[in-house]
Structure 1
C-alpha cells in the first residue's frame, strides 16, 4: 500500500482521496505500481488547479460574461465533486466559491455600469431630441439641416435604451426632423414661386427697357428708366440661372439710352456755353445804359440788345439766374426811369402834389403856432403832445415836397 497527505492506494489497487467528510474513492489502478497510481491522480488534480487558475484570470481580466463564467465554474465543480483527483479538493472548492462571489460582484458591477450607461445614453438622447425640436423651428436652413444630420450620426453611436423609452425618444427626434424638412420644403417652394414671379416681372421690365433704349425723348424716358429700376429692385431676385442674364440685358438697354443722351447733352452743353458767352457780352452792353440819362435813346438801345438776346437761345441751367438777373436789373432801371418821366410830365399828378403840399404846409404852420402858445402858457404836456403830432406832419410834408421836386417844381 502507498499513501501521501491527500490520498492512498490499498492492496487491491483502489485509490482514495482524503476529504473533510472522510476518504472518497477516486478510482481503481491495476496498470502499475501504487506510486504511479497516486502520481496519475495527482496530475489530474494539478490539471484542475491550472483550469481554475485560468478561469480566475479570465474572470478578472476579460469581459467574460457572468453566464459563461458560471457555466465554467459549474463544470469545474462537477469535476472536483467527482473526486477523480488526489489533492486538496476543499481548497479547490473554496477557490470555486470565491470565483462564484467574484462573478456575482462583476455581474453587479456590470449591471450598475449598464444602468449608468443607460442613464447617460438616455440623457444624451433626450438632449439630442431637445436640440432637434429647437432646430425644427429654425429658419437657418443650411446650418440647421447640417446640424440635424450630425445629430442623427450621434444618435446612431449611442447605446439603445429599453424598447419603449428608445421608441418614444426616436419618435420625437424623427418628428422634429420631419417638421424641419417640411418647413424647409415649403420655404423653398415659396421661394421658387417668388423667384419665378420675379423672373416674369423682370422679363417684362427688360422688354420695356429695350424698347426705350433708342428713345430721344430724354427727360420722360430717363424718368421712366428710374421707375423701371425701382420696380426691378422691388421685384426681388429671380432664379440664379436667369438673374444675371436679365440684369445684363436690362443694364445694357439703359446704357444704350444714357450713352446717346450723354452724347447729345455734351453737344448741347457746348452750344449753351457758347450762348452764355454771347449773353454775357450783351448784358455788359446793356449795363452801360445805366444810369439812364437819355430815356429815348436808352430805350431804343435796350430794345436792340433784347432782340439779339432772344435770338441766342438757352444757356447752362446753373448760369441762367445770374445772367438773366443782370439783364432784369437793367430792365427795371429803364422802367423806373419811365415812371419818373411820366410823373414829371403828368399835369394832374403835379396839381394833386401841389395841393397836398400846400395843405400839409398849412397844418405844420398851425401846429407849430399851437406848440409855441402851449409853451408860453406853461402847459408842457400839451406842448409835447402837439410837438409829436407836428413831427409826424413834418415828415409827410418832407415826403410831399420830395415828390413835387420830381415834377421839376
Structure 2
C-alpha cells in the first residue's frame, strides 16, 4: 500500500483522496504500482490547478462573459466534486468560490457599465435628434445636408437602446431628415422655376440686344442698352448651362455696338478738335474789330467772320461756351455801338431828351430857390426835406445830360 499527505492506494488498487469529510474514492488502478497510481491522480490535480489559474486570468484580463465563465467554473467544480484527483480539493473549491464572486462582481460592473453606456447613448441620440430637428429648419442647404449625413454615421456608431426608446428617437430623427429633404426639394424646384423664367427673360433681352448691335442711333441706343442691363440684373440667374452662353451673347452684342460708337466718336472728336482750332482763330479775328470806330466797316468785318464761323461744324462740348462767348462779346459790342448811333441820330429821341433835361433843370432851379427861402426864414426842417428832393432831381438831371451828350449835344 502507498500513500501521501492527500491520498493513498490500498492493496486492492483503490485510490483514495483525503478530505475534510474523510477519505473519498478517486478510482481504481490496476495498471502499475501504487506510486504510479498516486502520481497519475496527482497530475490530474495539477491539471485542475492549471485550468483554474487559466480561468482566473481570463476572467481578469479578457471580455469573457459571465455566462461562459460560470459554465467553465461549473465544469471544473464537477471534476473537483467527483474526487477525480489527489490533492487539496478544498483549496480548489475555495479558489472556485472566490472566482464565482469575481465573476459576479464583474457581471455587476458590466451591468453598471452597460447602464452608463446606455444612458450616454440615449443622451447622444437625443442630442442628435435635437440637432437634426434644428437643421430641418435651415436654409443652408449644402451645409445642413452634409451635417445631417454625418449625423446618420454618428447614429450608426452608437449602441442600440431598448427597442421602444430606440424606435421613438429614430422616428424623430428620420422625420427631421425627411422634413429637411422635402423643404430642400421644394426650394430647388422653385429655384428651377425661377431660373427657367430668368432664362426666358434673358433670351428676349439677348434677342433685342443683338437686334440693336448694328444701330447708328448712338444716344437712344446706348440708353436702351443701359435699360437692358438693368433688366438683365433684375431677372436673376438662369440655369448654369444657359447663363454663361446667354451672357456672352448679350455682352457680345453690346460690344459690337459700343465699339462702332467709339470708332465714330473718335473720328468726331478729332474733327471737333480741328473745328475748335479754326473757331478760336476766327474769334481772335473778330476781337480785332474792337473797339468799334467805323460801325459800317465793323458790321461788314463781323459778318464775314460769322459766315465762315457758321460753315464750321461742332466743337467739343466742354470747349463750346468759352469760344462762343468770345464771339458773342464782339457781337454785343457792335450792337451797343449801333444802339448808340441810333440814339445819336434819332431826332425824336433827341427832342425828348432835350425836353426832359429842360424840365429837370427848371425843377432843380426852383428847389434851390425854395431852399434859400426856407433857410432865410430859419425853417431848417423844410430846408433839409427840400435838399433831399433836390439831390434826387439833380441825379436824374445828370443822367439826362449824359444821355443828351450821346446825341452830340
TM-score using structure 1 length? 0.91
Name the counterpart of 1:257: 257
CA deviation digits over 1:202-226, x for unaligned, max 9?
Answer: 2222222222222222222222222
Q: CA deviation at 1:241?
A: 2.3
Q: CA deviation at 1:56?
A: 0.6
Structure 2 residue 208 is matched with structure 1 residue 229:
no
Structure 1 unaligned spans of 5+: none
Structure 1 residue matching 2:152: 3-state secondary structure = helix
Q: CA deviation at 1:373?
A: 4.5
Structure 2 residue matching 1:408: 3-state secondary structure = coil
Name the counterpart of 2:348: 348
Name the counterpart of 1:166: 166
Q: CA deviation at 1:31?
A: 4.0
Q: Which moved more, 1:300-309 or 1:45-54?
A: 300-309
Structure 1 residue matching 2:139: 3-state secondary structure = coil
Structure 2 residue matching 1:15: 3-state secondary structure = strand
Aligned-pair Cα RMSD in Å:
2.4
Q: CA deviation at 1:105?
A: 0.9
Structure 2 residue 63 is matched with structure 1 residue 63:
yes
Distance 1:19 1:375, change over 3 A: farther
Q: CA deviation at 1:300?
A: 2.7
Distance 1:373 1:98, change over 3 A: farther
Summarize the alignment of residues 207-222 of structure 1 with structure 2, pairs less than 5 Å apart: 207-222=207-222
Summarize the alignment of residues 324-343 of structure 1 with structure 2, pairs less than 5 Å apart: 324-343=324-343
Structure 2 residue 15 is matched with structure 1 residue 15:
yes
Structure 2 residue 248 is matched with structure 1 residue 248:
yes
Q: CA deviation at 1:374?
A: 4.5
Distance 1:160 1:299 in 2: 112
TM-score using structure 2 length? 0.91
Q: CA deviation at 1:66?
A: 0.4
Structure 1 residue matching 2:27: 3-state secondary structure = strand
Name the counterpart of 1:120: 120
Q: Which moved more, 1:224-233 or 1:2-11?
A: 2-11
Distance 2:248 2:265 in 1: 25
Q: CA deviation at 1:51?
A: 1.2
Distance 1:20 1:355 in 2: 172
Distance 1:379 1:8, change over 3 A: farther
Distance 1:7 1:222 in 2: 122
Distance 1:277 1:41 in 2: 136
Distance 1:311 1:333 in 2: 23
Distance 2:270 2:31 in 1: 140
Distance 2:377 2:138 in 1: 104
Equivalenced residue count is 409
Name the counterpart of 2:388: 388
Distance 1:10 1:377, change over 3 A: farther
CA deviation digits over 1:179-232, x for unaligned, max 9?
Answer: 222222222222222222222222222222222222222222222222222222
Q: Which moved more, 1:48-57 or 1:204-213?
A: 204-213
Distance 2:265 2:89 in 1: 121
Distance 1:339 1:34, change over 3 A: same
Structure 2 unaligned spans of 5+: none
Summarize the alignment of residues 138-287 of structure 1 with structure 2, pairs less than 5 Å apart: 138-287=138-287
